[in-house]
Each structure stands twice: as C-alpha cells, then as structure tokens.
C-alpha cells in the first residue's frame, strides 16, 4: 500500500495561470506513480459542466482531472458550481443540484452564508480524503484578492482546512512575473504564506537556461523555492476550462478542409463539445460572431447557451440569425446543440423567468419544434444510436438542460437520437439541418462521419479514437511537467 500523502493544492497569481492543467498533470503523475488520486475544487465558476453517473452536475475541469486520475467523476470533487446567467447573477449548483439563481450580493451577502457553504465544501473534501490518496486541489482565480478573503471558500481558507502543501502558479507569458509572485505572497497573512511550499513558473517561452538568474533572484525575493519552470506548449490538447481560450480560434478559415463555424455566443456553454473537431484533420473549426465568417463556412453549429433567449436576441440584432437561415437555404449544413437546437425551432418561452426577463421569442424557424424553459433541470449521461435509420453504432453523450422541446402539432417525428431506453430525442430535417440536446455528440465517430458526408476530404484524414486520444494527451502532459519540475522536492513536502 502506498504511503499516505498530504493534499497538494495549486493556486494562482491570476486567472488562467494554468492551475487546472497543472492539477490534471499531477492527477496523472500520481496515478502513474501508483497512487489513487482525486481532484477537488471547492467552488468553480464556469459554463462548462458535466453530469456525473448519479445525475449531479459539476465543473468540466474537475471531470478532466478525474479522467487524468483514472477515477469516476463525483460532485464531491466540485461541490459548488456557479453558472453565470447574465452579468450580475449566476445559477448556483450545490452538490450537483441547482438551488436557484443569485446575484453576487445575494450569494455573498446573506448572513452566515459563507460559513454554511464552507461546511458543505469541507464535508465534500473529507468524504474524498477518506477514499483517495492524495487529493489534488485547485484554487480559483487569484489568492491575493484581499477584499474577498473573508468570504473566499475556494483558496487559502480551504488550504488551511485541508492542511495542504500549496504551490503558487504564475503565468510568465503575461509579463511581470516577479511583481505578481512577490505581490501575491506579500498580501498573504503569515499562516497562509507558511503553506506555500513552492513556486511554479508556467508558460515559459524560449530557452529556460536563460532564466536561471531570474529563478535565483525570485527565490531570494520570495524566500520560497521555484519548484519548476514549465515551457509553453501548443501540441498537447487538454480541454480548456475558460472560454477565453476561444479567442485563439477565431477567423481561421482554411482551404482544403471542411470549415466549421461555431457561433460565438455570449453565454456559450459546454464549448468542449467541439474539441473533437480539432483532432480530426478533415475539419477546420473556428469560432465567430461575424456574419461574413459564418457565410464562408461549410457547416454552421449553434452551440449551447446558459441564456438562450438573450443570446437569440443578440443573434437577431447582429444579423447572425439571418445569416444562418440564408446559409441553410444555400445548402450549407446547420446544426444545433442544446440551446442551439432550441434556437433553430419555432419559438422559445420562459414563463417562469428562469433565464431572465425575456418571456418569449420566435426561433429561427428551421425546425418544427417549440421549447418551454421549465424549473426542473435534466442532467444525465446517455447511450444512444445516432440517426437510427442510417447508423447502428453505439454512441454516448450527456444532457444538461432546462428546456422541454415538443413537435409542432401535425409535424412528423424525425429523431436525431434513439436512446438505449427507447426514448427518442432531437429533430432531423435532413442531412443538412438537425438539432439535439445531446452534448458530447462530436466525440462519436459516427457523428463526425455524418458531418463530413458530402465533402471529399482525404481518406488519410480519418479521425482518431477520441477517448484514446485524450489518454495519450494526459500522458504527454504528465511527461512534459515531470521533465521540468522537481518531483523529489514535491514528494518531500507531501509525505505525512
């Protein structure tokens, strides 16, 4: 039996410093070294989520880390998930179940709310600690937001409760790494600073040996060792947590590929639905909110949204809605997933005001379906046959939605999906136009092949098995981090 290790926590000098990826790397490293790790993030704010086998909802980043650890995802790994609905409020998901929409003032301002939530997240952590060794923890944003410290349940308060060895991740690619590290540490009270066991410089470009003097200066300045300097990489594909990554995938139309325009919605959810397209050389996916970019594409995909009515209203105002309909009439493929499927229908109504103050809107009118947003949320994993009249391959995906979509009176049922329990789902107007609630569709070879139908990509461009591809990427990530980090020093700190 492996020796018990104390929890390890990766915190940041800022958002997007690389905490999520670092946690995923260590989940895989510990697994490779014979341990039984599991991830944990007390509170996550993200529109990228996933249903557990038990039907609970959790942040996608912790699902990625669980995959890297080789364990089944559980809501204890992310007990609080905040899903922004608009600029001022979020849906609060506690232990996998939505408990309502709250503004930041409501969420943080309620008397004793922080204490109650902290009891919930520490309870989840303790349940994990009894089952796994070690717990690989991730902080949220920056740990130096002193105005938030008294109500921050995701960072150093959680590290103290867990007795974690904490590593501070700094993004050198942003510039100002000395100031960000020193300033972050200077703003910590002594008992929190004492938990910081090392600094990890992330996203380094160029010759690392040229930073040797900088490393020594930083260690002298901070009084804490630099545990590693991780080179920037672009050849390892790990699912991103934040939609900021989509800014790097815009306006990249390419000749000789099936160009797929993914409509960039303000409240886009589960953009990881499209990661598989990046691994399939037949396709060139790019994100856009420009009508001319959409018009150049062979395929247009309307993705999911956490505020479907608001995003639909924006599409109409920007002219994108008209461009999508025009593209369909010109023979382009138009696909909708979840909220995008709802938008492609005849109407969307929100009688309970779940998404906001827009009671109803007409849809794009491409599919003969109507949607009503209802209070009960569907979160489930599914196995199914895609386009059952054409395919027999078994596929898998998941649903996360509060809409109920029904056929217009008199319309013939033409499902996209036949689920293993006999239910049908989605609507297929034809090979060039269909919509479904199913997330993860494009992770299935049968769906990618259907999307490529009618085009003539090279036979050698056939896609890899996506599950095997992801496993390969986790191993590549672990190897990359091992090469550039002092694992001996880290193991010394983790021995209980």
- Catalytic positions, written as ranges: 338, 439
CA dist 78 and 67 (Å) reads 14
The answer to whether 19 and 9 are in contact (CB under 8 A) is: no
The answer to whether 81 and 58 are in contact (CB under 8 A) is: yes
- Could you please report the per-residue DSSP string of 397-419? EEEEEEEEEEEPTTPPP--SEEE
Say how many CA atoms lie within 13 Å of 176 toward its Cβ.
8
CA dist 264 and 287 (Å) reads 6
Cross-strand partners of 195: none
- Residue 168 structure tokens: 């501070």
Q: What is the Rg, in whole angstroms, of the alpha carbon atoms belonging to the chain?
A: 23
Q: What are the strands, taking DSSP E only, across 70-172?
A: 80-84, 89-94, 97-103, 135-138, 165-171
The answer to whether 346 and 370 are in contact (CB under 8 A) is: yes
In angstroms, what CA-CA distances link 174 with 17, 202, 211, 245, 365?
9, 10, 16, 14, 45
Bridging pattern class, strands 43-45 and 80-84: parallel
The DSSP 8-state label assigned to residue 303 in this structure reads: -
């Amino acid at each position: 039996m492996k020796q018990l290790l104390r929890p390890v926590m990766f915190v940041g000098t800022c958002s997007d410093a690389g905490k999520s990826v670092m946690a995923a790397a260590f989940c895989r490293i510990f697994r490779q070294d014979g341990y039984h790790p599991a991830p944990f993030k007390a509170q996550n704010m993200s529109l990228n989520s996933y249903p557990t086998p038990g039907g609970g909802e959790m942040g996608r980043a912790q699902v990625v880390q669980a995959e890297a650890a080789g364990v089944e995802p559980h809501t204890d790994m992310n007990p609080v998930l905040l899903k922004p609905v608009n600029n001022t409020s979020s849906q609060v998901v506690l232990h996998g179940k939505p408990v309502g929409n709250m503004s930041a003032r409501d969420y943080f301002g309620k008397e004793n709310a922080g204490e109650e939530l902290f009891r919930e997240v520490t309870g989840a952590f303790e349940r994990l600690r009894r089952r796994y060794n070690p717990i690989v923890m991730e902080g949220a944003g920056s740990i130096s937001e002193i105005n938030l410290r008294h109500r921050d349940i995701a960072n150093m308060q959680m590290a103290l409760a867990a007795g974690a060895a904490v590593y501070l991740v700094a993004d050198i690619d942003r510039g100002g790494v000395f100031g960000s590290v020193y300033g972050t540490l200077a703003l910590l009270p002594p008992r929190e600073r004492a938990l910081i066991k090392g600094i990890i410089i992330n996203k380094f470009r160029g010759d690392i040996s040229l930073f040797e003097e900088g490393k020594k200066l930083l260690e002298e300045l901070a009084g804490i060792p630099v545990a590693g300097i991780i080179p920037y990489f672009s050849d390892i594909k790990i699912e991103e947590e934040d939609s900021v990554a989509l800014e790097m995938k815009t306006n990249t139309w390419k000749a000789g590929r099936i160009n797929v325009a993914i409509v960039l919605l303000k409240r886009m959810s589960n953009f990881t639905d499209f990661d598989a397209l990046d691994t399939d050389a037949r396709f060139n996916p790019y994100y856009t909110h420009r009508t001319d970019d959409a018009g150049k594409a062979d395929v247009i995909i309307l993705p999911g949204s956490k505020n479907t009515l608001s995003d639909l209203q924006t599409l109409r105002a920007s002219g994108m809605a008209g461009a999508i309909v025009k593209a369909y009439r010109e023979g382009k493929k138009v696909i909708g997933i979840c909220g995008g499927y709802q938008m492609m229908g005849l109407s969307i109504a929100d009688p309970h005001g779940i998404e906001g103050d827009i009671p109803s809107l007409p849809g794009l009118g491409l599919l003969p379906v109507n949607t009503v947003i209802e209070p009960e949320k569907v979160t489930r994993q599914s196995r199914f046959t895609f386009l059952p009249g054409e395919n027999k391959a078994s596929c898998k995906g998941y649903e996360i939605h509060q809409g109920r979509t029904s056929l217009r009176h008199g319309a013939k049922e033409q499902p996209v999906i036949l689920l293993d329990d006999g239910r049908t789902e989605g609507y297929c107007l034809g090979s060039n136009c269909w919509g479904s609630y199913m997330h993860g569709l494009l992770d299935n070879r049968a769906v990618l092949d259907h999307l490529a139908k009618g085009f003539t990509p090279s036979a050698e461009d056939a896609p890899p098995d996506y599950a095997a591809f992801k496993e390969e990427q986790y191993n590549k990530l672990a190897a990359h981090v091992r090469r550039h980090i002092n694992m001996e020093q880290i193991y010394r700190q983790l021995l209980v």
